[in-house]
Amino acid sequence: MIEKPQQSLGFFIFRQEQLFMEKKHLGFELSIFNSMDELSNTDALLLQEAEKARQNSYAPYSKFSVGAALLLESGKIIPGSNQENASFPAGLCAEGVAVFSAGANYPNEKIKAIAVTAASGSNNLTSPAAPCGICRQTIAEYEKKQGSPIQILMKGQTGPIYKCDSMADLLPLGFDGSFL
């Protein structure tokens, strides 16, 4: 409740006003797998390809290597790895490399899924590293463009594997072209 002062005959009288607001919980379902053996053959292959792509990472500054592999509707797998630059903001994330490569080379094919795996040169990642904000925005744009969700698989060096059904799960209240 908020009390608003009103002046009356030299005195302030406080009138109570009830403000109403609505609260909503935004959540999503996340599947957690303990090993690659629990995954479908397609998901396991996609994560293996992301791990291969991670080997091509160029991360001499951060020592944080990321690999991505995305699955197109045709079954083709597109790899991507992060590429750093001494001017840090000029680098590219693995997810962006893979998504933009698919967009440039296969513009009419839908992306069904993307797998992301990360490794740190300074410590063992025992939980998945989710895509950064820019990559979430990039993948969300492609979901909107193609009119269908893109599944996300995430894995660290060891530990569980996370899977969610859509980037919209990881980017609730996302910004898109409808706001422009």
Termini Cα distance of the chain: 36
Distance CA 113, CA 36 (A): 16
Which two three-digit tokens encode residue 70?
A: 């995305």
Give the sign of the dihedral formed by CA 128, CA 131, CA 59, CA 110.
positive
Distance CA 19, CA 1 (A): 6
Residue linked to tokens 């020592």: 63
* DSSP symbol at 26: -
Catalytic annotation, pick one of 49, 84, 95, 143: 95
Q: Is 95 a catalytic residue?
A: yes
**Closest alpha carbon to 176 in 152, 164, 168:** 168
Strands of 73-136, DSSP E:
77-81, 111-120
Catalytic residue numbers read: 95
